[in-house]
Structure 1
Amino acid sequence: MSQGAALLQLAPQDNCAIALRNLSAGEVIEFAGQTLRLGSAVPLGHKVALEAMAPGTKVLRWGSPIGSTTHAIAPGEHIHLHNLRSDYLPTYTLDAGQRFVSDSSKAAP
């Protein structure tokens, strides 16, 4: 794990890091040999881009994809619901009564 006073990169292949405190817009952070200037405030626990990402780029956290970018993201930019789409595929559906039905319960008896 790479660590800095403001950010934590959970795995070496991650293209984002986690804010270890509330970060201010315009703040300059030295991290992993690069200088990041934050374009907006980033709350504690939220993600910050470590590299430029084109639309559709997989965002990696703990070395695993957590979603895809919905538009271009610059290094130091806040990554959250406004620019990230989840790639999660649920293992359940809703029946007509809006109750959860797991895929395994659909199997024939």
Structure 2
Amino acid sequence: MHKFLIHKQGDHVGVATTDINAGENIIGVYMDTDTSIEVLAKDSIPLGHKIAVANVDENGHVIEYGLPIGYAPEGFHLGDYVHTHNIRTLRW
């Protein structure tokens, strides 16, 4: 059973549909293609928060819904918890 959803192929993050424990191997489903991905969660991720499904370089744009939603000042890696500590908005 999946524990997170990814809106579109090419997105860098998925959204937890249940609490995720650090060290847990979890399945995510791409909503646009119904394909899945398995990820090792490096951190605990609360319901509704984001998990990295791709590596993002330092200062790289973060893609969700097929669009840039922010940038990652220090970058992040597959399985990382993605939240306000490692992503900034592009709006200001």
TM-score (norm 2): 0.82
Sequence identity, in percent? Answer: 27
Is residue 33 of structure 2 the alignment partner of residue 30 of structure 1? no
TM-score (norm 1): 0.71
Residue matched to 2:75: 72
Q: CA deviation at 1:14?
A: 0.9
Q: Deviations over 1:44-102 (max 9, x none)?
A: 1111111111111111111111100011311010110000011114xxxxxxxxxxxxx
Letter in 2 for 1:16: V
Residue matched to 1:85: 88
Structure with the greater relative contact order (CA < 8 A, sep ≥ 6): 1 or 2? Answer: 2
Residue matched to 1:20: 17
Q: 1:7 aligns with which of 4, 18, 21?
A: 4
Letter in 1 for 2:10: Q
Q: CA deviation at 1:34?
A: 4.3
- Residue 23 of structure 2 aligns to a residue whose secondary structure is coil
Q: 2:60 aligns with which of 57, 62, 69?
A: 57
Structure 1 runs of 4+ with >2 Å offset: 30-35
Instruction: Mark the runs of 5 or more structure 1 residues left unpaired by the alignment.
Output: 90-109
Q: 1:39 aligns with which of 39, 42, 49?
A: 42
Larger radius of gyration: 1
Residue matched to 2:31: none
- Residue 66 of structure 1 aligns to a residue whose secondary structure is strand
CA distance in 2, matches of 1:67, 1:18: 15
Instruction: Mark the runs of 5 or more structure 2 residues left unpaired by the alignment.
Output: 29-34
Pairwise CA RMSD: 1.6
Q: Give the number of aligned pairs.
A: 86
CA distance in 1, matches of 2:26, 2:40: 6
